[in-house]
Chains A and B, each alone.
Chain A
Amino acid sequence: MTQYAKDYSVGELMCVTLAREIDDGDVVVLGSFTPLAYASYILAKITHAPNSTLLAYAAVDFKPFQLSFIRAESSATRGAACIWTMLEDLNSVHLKGRGDVEAISSIQADGYGNINLSAVGEYDSPKLRGPGGAGAPEVIKMHRKMIGYFPNHSKMTFVPKVDVITGTRYVIGAEERIKAGYRPGPIRYITNLAVISKEEKDKPFKIDSLHSGVSAEQVVENTGFELEVPKDIPETEKPTKEQVRLLREEVDPYGTMAFDFKPGKERLGYLNEILQKELEAIGYA
């Protein structure tokens, strides 16, 4: 019988939920360094999805590694089966439609499958200029699933309509996707409150599951677009004891994943703590 953990953080729950989106045999792309997503993929690879192929930086099919704030790139590179340029990567995976999961996050997201990483406010005179989408505008359309993770489920993030559409899923329904040359798959957002997903263009996002202790009302209140609220919503599957142990002891002993959940003011101090631990681990005091 599966033994579920009693003591886990919301970050660990989100991480495990994202890991469960990886099927064995998937081709998984790691974009910008986001500790939570990296931890998820590596956890999946060492548990239920050993045949998944992970790509990060120039590294293809790299060996799973222990997360570190500074060493993700050298770890992926040193454990790679193949080193590609970005063009080889996107010719082979993205454009060919071979990507399964490349989780994204976004400053804003709406109920249509649009994301905004560009600007809050007017595009030409923004209140906040975002980093830009890198490959996100394209991968959310091309890969089998569009998976997003949001550590702060709120009306600031989940808005009625994004200020700027940096990218969009564009073709959503299974039939439409196949016709347009893409593999069918859902839009699914994993947040600190719930899991919501959308599989049809003309239907709203639906609450798939609620995290322990969270009510449907709470999710609706914190979402700026329409949600379908089924009568009986299951609780999000908890992390197992083994998953939590692996995350804490093997995958992320330095606690890089918690970084995304720290308030802006505490981040620098937390980062310094991690760096200190990393130095000590290699014999520098």
Chain B
Amino acid sequence: MPTESKVAKLSDISKIIKDGDTVAIGGSWLGSHPMAVIREIIRQKIKNLTAITVVGSIDVDLLIGAGCLSRLMFSFVSMEAFGLAPNFRRAIEKEGLPYDEITGLAVIIGLEAGGRNVPFLPYRGPFGSDLVKFRPEFYKEIKCPFTGEDLIAAAAIVPDVAIIHATRADNTGNVQIDGTSGTDVEMMRAAKKRIVSVEEIVSPEEIRRNPAKTKIPGFQVDMVIEAPLGAHPCSCAPDYVFDPWHIMKYMQAAMSPETFQQYIDEYVMKPEFEYLEAIGGMKQAAILRRLAREVKFL
């Protein structure tokens, strides 16, 4: 078994993520986005990125607001019950951020094609959708070579880098995800380089005690970063819930570019451990973990 350690510090991400890269961001809705790595991208002022998200929220909105993106591929970006994503809206409505809006299944199937090393995969796709018409570089209407049936080809997506947040990994990058994995596995298979941040780095023996939980084996991972509460203010199910109090603060700050800059200065442009202090430290973490445990079945 491999022994070479892939453990790195948050500040090491610039060894992998470069200006101009296409970066697939794991997580879904308000869950498990690699927020510690996102904040580090902003701290290090890595720019001109093309972000790829399936169902994004504050991850994408924060990168847009901080000026790190020059293009966005998405099927959905929303703060869910908190409202539409403010920076995302402003960038598209007022600032002309170039974007590719692709239907949800097409992004996932495109990533799967990337992972399989084929140029496209066919499916019974969204015929009649304007998005198919608007983005011929991602969709083609084709005929099945066997039956003649009309199908849609989703073009392969091969990101330069995939970044995901997971429950635990060992030092060689065997990754376990206890909760929502979204498209993390597909992104890691498709990408050229892969970074995973985890709640906890554990021993190889501990991984091997529960191999069925390992969703991504180490050979598909290039860098492992320990980042407890690294999805905050998003959830990392089933360990902690998203932080609605912080998200409300974020929504308030993102109302204008000026107040948003204050948010960036106050929360992002400081070391990660200071961020965790600023959001309420251990006390807040305990509440979010407790909420995730106290569920009631009917």
Q: Which residues of A contact B (CB under 8 A)?
A: 32-33, 35, 42, 46, 57-58, 63-66, 68-71, 73-75, 77-79, 83, 85-87, 90, 94-95, 114, 118, 123, 125-138, 141-142, 164-168, 170, 180-181, 250-251, 259, 267-268, 271-272, 275, 278-279, 281-282, 284
Contacts and interface: CB of A to CB of B under 8 A. Distances in A.
B297 A90 contact: no
Contacts of A134: 54-55, 75-76, 104
Interface string B74-104: 1111101111110011001100000001011
B130 to A, nearest CB: 4
Contact of B245 (A58, A65, A168, A275): A275
Main secondary structure of the interface of B (DSSP, over half): mixed
A156 to B, nearest CB: 16
Contacts of A259: 81
A118 B101 contact: yes
Given A32-B55, A57-B179, A118-B101, A132 B237 contact: no
Interface stretch (B4-12, B180-188, B274-282): B180-188
Given A58-B179, A71-B292, A86-B28, A131 B78 contact: yes
B80 A137 contact: no
A259 to B, nearest CB: 6
B232 to A, nearest CB: 13
A77 B179 CA distance: 6
A64 B297 contact: yes
5 contacts: A58-B179, A86-B181, A90-B108, A135-B103, A138-B125
Contacts of A35: 81
Given A71-B295, A138-B103, 5 more contacts: A32-B29, A71-B292, A73-B242, A133-B75, A251-B298
A71 B292 CA distance: 6
Contacts of B105: 90, 94-95, 135, 138
A279 B80 CA distance: 21
B128 interface: yes
B278 to A, nearest CB: 20
A182 to B, nearest CB: 8
B75 A132 contact: yes
Contact of B244 (A85, A87, A129, A271): A271
A8 B54 CA distance: 38
